[in-house]
Structure 1
Amino acid sequence: MARIGLISLSDGRDYVNKDIDAFIRSAEDRLAQALSRAGHEVVRTPGPVTSNRDATAYAREVAAQKVDLTVLHYAVWAFPHFTMLVADATPGPLLLLGSLDPVQPGMVGLLAGGGALDQIGRTHTRLWGDVDDALLTAIGTQAAAGAAVAGLRGQTFGRIGGRPMGMNTAVANTDDWMRLFGVDVEEVDQWELVLRSEKVEQSRVTAGREWLEKTAAGVHYNGANLTPELLERQIRSYHAMQSLIDEKGLDFTGIKGQPELTENFATMDVAEAFLNDPYDWEGPKATHVCATEADMDGALTMQILKLLTQKPVLFADVRHYHADRDVWDLCNSGQHATWYAARSDDPAENLAKVHLYPEVFFFPAGGASVHHLAAPGAMTLARLTRLDGRYRLHLMLGDFEQYDEETNERLMNQSTREWPHAFARLDTPGARFLETFGANHIHAVPGDVRAELRAVAAQLDIDLDEMTR
């Protein structure tokens, strides 16, 4: 759960504070105890803010604890300039929480403080009412978003290679990333993967190949563009990426791949799939985010989703729309994490549904494509894009579906069967999606995290494009 700072604000008149101090402290105790029971760590101040000096000092003390969210608590009327001073000393997201208790005008304090913040353009969220399950859930949503936003700051994205095949939507301004998200970009030449691949111990490479041959549903060597040697080259590329990530402290990454590596070395399908998985042939590991085609905005979207859910994130092309079924085929080379084949914590269950097929003609250097059909289930789909230079977040619900074997095969064969597929029914009309969606890549995680993503968009001050029927 999250770390939440709690600051109660009060009246600035001493003779008033004498009569309301106990009321404020009692209300704050109830709120803090409820948040703690919900699993949050609550950072509190010595007492309510009753002066300019309290406002600044208490806010700095709370901020120093690296809280994910700061809650300004209004149980009574509070001098609005206390809110301004607290906000100025608070770098993270703010939530203003007002009481509707008729005994004291906490709602008035909330509106006065919030209005003052509006005047200076300080982003904040407002909640009000009794401390019940609904309110605690709403606070938790804001705190989870705050943790994800704070988690981004200070991270480094490793871009392996440059812009792929002229895809402007895959390239972002590094100055914007630092200013908006606090993320640095480390540029790494793809040649590093070739050089490092040669240095990987053969024992690790052999172990990876044998594990895939034993665990996957099939490794379909054809003696040409998929051989044991080419598969080992892909395994070497995976370990080369791991060494880059460790050595350079890369929090999330993207590999250009096309056309240099895919024409002259090997596809990065195996490396990308298992980097996004919570396991590999050497055992469980931390889930990483690696975007194909060095897609910066795609990787950033995926990293936010991972920080929110701690689950593997799916990366896909919006490859085809089956209009007769109102179903989208989300498919992109070998990028899908194998976790999505069965959504199991046991890699053997997932790999039992995964086939390694020879790559198609797009990638003459060869290697294996990591094929599977994503398991059914509810999904949240999202993508950061830019409209006239300003970031926006596309957001929608969807369901991954599967059908009978004959139908699954027929639908996959209409595009590129060798690649991984996810049949997605989106909660938005096809025309609405095609008219407004600002990229050819999309990303997804299981479940419904729309509320958290709405909060992320608000805290980052980026536009929200929520698609729904």
Structure 2
Amino acid sequence: MARIGVISISDGREHVHRGVRDFVLGKEDALVGALEAAGHEVVRGGEPVGSNVAATSAARQVAAAGVDLTVLHYAVWAFPHFTMLAADATPGPLLLLASIDPTEPGMVGMLAAGGALDQIGRAHTRLWGAPDDALVADITARADAAHAVGALRGSTFGRIGGRPMGMNTAVANTDQWQRLFGVDVEEIDQWEIVRRTEAADPAELRRGREWFERHANVHYDGKKLTPDLLERQIGTYVAMRGLIEEHRLDFTGIKGQPELTEHFCTMDVAEALLNDPYDHNGPKDPHVCATEADMDGALTMQLLKHVARTPVLFADVRHYHGDRDIWDLCNSGQHATWYAARSDDPADNLAKVHLFPEVFFFPAGGASVQHIAAPGRMTLARLTRIDGDYRLQLMLGDFENFDEATTDALTKQSTPEWPHAFARLDAEAPDFLSRFGANHIHAVPGDVRPQMRAVTELLGIRLDEFTRN
């Protein structure tokens, strides 16, 4: 979870400060206990702030701990200039939290402090109430968003190849990325994948192939999918891992089409394994990798990963089955295999995964990593641009599964060899198709809309949320 700083602001009159100290600390203890019970790491600012010197030193101490979010806590009337000094010493996101115990004017203190911050244009969020589940959930959403936004700053995106097939929505302005998100872009040629694959350890490639053969369903055809081609695809994964380590890349995207897909092999296996929390060597952290070097797609995925702390699904919006009100989210092998069952045991997921020979789009061949995404509540999102300005398009949805006959019929209407997520979206089809700003969409389990809404506030970009009428 997030690292949260807590600083209680008190009265500047020494005799009043002494009189309310225990009351303030009691309220702070309850707040900190609730946050820690929710899984957060809490950094306390020490004694309640009762002087200008204490305001600055407490804030500097908390900021030095690298917190994602600083909570300024008001259980009593608090001198507003203490908040101003603390805010100046705290560069990160601020949340002002007031106790609603009527025996002390904590709410008055928060409003006075918040108004002062408004006057100087310092952004902040305000919450109030006892530290119950609802309040902790609100703080968590803000803290998770702050963690996600903070994790972007100073990170590096590895762009392997250029614009794929004339796809404008896959390319972003690197200056704008640096200014808005604090992300640098490292440009790497796709030849590096070829070169490193050819130099990969044959024992490593064989071990990866045997891992798939043991746990997944591999459908060799002797042409488009052979053991050698599967090992070549595993080699591209090994090559990407080397590039990530050498260039210290935080997230990546691979162009793939048309050069690699026509003359070397598809990147489906590499992209699926990078996004997975495991590979043939055991557990690992998921690494966001977007197919077709989709920059805004990868950026969306990186935010979702930091908020949800799970692998992130990448898909095309392939088809809308109007008779069922179901969207087929399907892309050539990009789905992380974790989505097949969303299990902590890779064997559970891979048992539902089929490696099929690639279809005619990709003459170089290789395996398409096919499965049907497991059912459940999902948050779907995408950063898009309108007239150059970023917006986050956001909605809730549910992935659904059907009986075998229905699933077979639905997949055959598009490309059965590719992975599918059948989604019922909280969006009207005409509205979605009229204004959704890309062909790619991204998803994580659960409802993380509160976190993503907070992300837009912290980044200063527009929220464009889809709902049903």
TM-score for the superposition, normalised by structure 2: 0.95
Query: How far is 1:15 from its partner?
Result: 5.0
After TM superposition, list the pairs within 5 Å mapping 1:176-191 onto structure 2. 176-191=176-191
Separation in 1 of the partners of 2:341 and 2:133? 33
SS of aligned partner of 1:149: helix
Report if aligned partners of 2:327, 2:424 keep a CA contact under 8 Å in 1. yes
Change (3 A) 1:172 1:32: same
Q: By how many angstroms is 1:51 displaced? A: 3.1
Q: Which whole-Å deviations, capped at 9, do the CAs of 1:285-308 have from their partners, x for residues lacking one?
A: 221111001111111111112112
- C-alpha change, 1:242 and 1:111, in structure 2 (3 Å) is same
Measure how far apart 1:332 and its partner are: 0.6
After superposing the two structures, state which structure 1 stretch, 80-89 or 125-134, moved more. 80-89
SS in 1 for 2:378: strand
Give the SS at the match of 2:77.
coil
Give the Å deviation of 1:210.
2.5
- Mapped to 2, the partners of 1:374 and 1:25 lie a distance apart of 48
Structure 2 Cα separation of the partners of residues 437 and 160 of structure 1:
26
Q: Who is 1:453 aligned against? A: 452
Report the alpha carbon displacement of residue 341 of structure 1 after superposing the two structures with TM: 1.4
Partner of 2:89: 89
SS in 2 for 1:456: helix
SS at match of 1:5: strand
Shift in alpha-carbon separation, 1:46–1:276, aligned structure 2, 3 A: closer
Counterpart contact for 1:213–1:219, Cα < 8 Å = no
- AA paired with 1:467? F
Report which stretch shifted further, 245-254 or 355-364: 355-364
Identify which range, 244-253 or 188-197, moves more after superposition.
Answer: 244-253
Which residue in 2 is equivalent to 1:251? 250
8 Å contact kept, 1:170–1:295: yes
**Alpha carbons of structure 1 residues 388 and 117: separation in structure 2 relative to 1, 3 Å:** farther
In structure 2, the residue matched to 1:388 is: 387
Shift of 1:155: 1.8
More off after superposition, 402-411 vs 38-47: 38-47
Alignment of 1:303-314 (within 5 A): 303-314=302-313
Query: 1:466 corresponds to which residue?
Result: 465
Q: Give the distance between the partners of 1:110 and 1:433, measured in 2 at CA.
A: 40
Q: What is the 5 A alignment of 1:400-411?
A: 400-411=399-410
| Structure 1: distance between partners of 2:67 and 2:413 | 50
Counterpart CA distance in 1 for 2:353 and 2:40 is 39
Which amino acid in 2 is paired with 1:165? M
Q: CA deviation at 1:352?
A: 2.0
Alignment of 1:362-441 (within 5 A): 362-441=361-440
Runs of 4+ off more than 4 Å: none
Structure 2: unaligned runs, 5 residues or longer:
none
Counterparts of 1:371 and 1:70 in 2: how far apart (Å)?
44
Letter in 1 for 2:246: E
**Counterpart-to-counterpart distance in 1, 2:224 and 2:137:** 52
C-alpha contact 2:381 2:395 (8 A) present in aligned 1: yes
Q: Distance in 2 between matches of 1:254 and 1:421?
A: 21
Question: More deviation in 226-235 or 298-307?
Answer: 226-235
Aligned-pair distance for 1:340? 1.3
Distance 1:285 1:32 in 2: 31
Q: CA deviation at 1:29?
A: 2.9
The AA in structure 2 aligned to 1:173 is: N
Per-residue CA deviation, residues 380-410 of structure 1 (Å, 9 max, x unaligned), is 1111112222222111111111212221111
* Percent identical residues: 71
Alpha-carbon distance, 1:18 to partner: 4.3
Equivalent residue, structure 2, for 1:297: 296
Distance 1:408 1:37, change over 3 A: closer
Query: Which secondary structure does the structure 1 equivalent of 2:196 belong to?
Result: helix
Quote the offset at 1:234 in angstroms.
Answer: 1.0
Q: What is the rounded CA distance, in whole Å, between the counterparts of 2:253 and 2:406 in structure 1?
A: 34
**Cα distance between partner residues in 1 of 2:17 and 2:111:** 20
Matched, 1:271 2:270: yes
Deviation string 1:50-109 (CA, Å, 9 cap, x unpaired) is 333332222111100101110011122223232222222212111110122222222122
The alignment covers a number of residue pairs equal to: 468
Question: Residues of 1 paired with 2:188 and 2:159: CA distance?
Answer: 6
How far residue 124 of structure 1 moved from its aligned partner, in angstroms, is 1.5
CA distance in 1, matches of 2:7, 2:213: 58
Asked whether the 8 Å contact 1:327–1:424 carries over to 2, the reply is yes
Q: Which runs of 5+ in 1 are unaligned?
A: none
Q: Which moved more, 1:391-400 or 1:81-90?
A: 81-90
Deviates more, 1:323-332 or 1:223-232: 223-232
Q: Is the 8 A contact 1:100 1:129 kept in 2?
A: yes
2:174 aligned with 1:174, yes or no? Answer: yes
TM-score (norm 1): 0.95
The 5-angstrom pairing of residues 91-106 of structure 1 reads: 91-106=91-106
**Matched position secondary structure for 1:291:** strand
Aligned residue for 1:407, secondary structure, equals helix
Corresponding residue for residue 42 of structure 1: 42
CA distance in 1, matches of 2:95, 2:442: 28
Q: Is 2:133 the counterpart of 1:141?
A: no
2:219–2:354 Cα contact (<8 Å) kept: yes
Please tell me whether the aligned partners of residues 270 and 369 of structure 1 are also in contact (alpha carbons under 8 angstroms): yes
Q: Is the 8 A contact 1:69 1:146 kept in 2?
A: yes
Q: Choose 10-19 or 289-298, whichever is displaced more.
A: 10-19
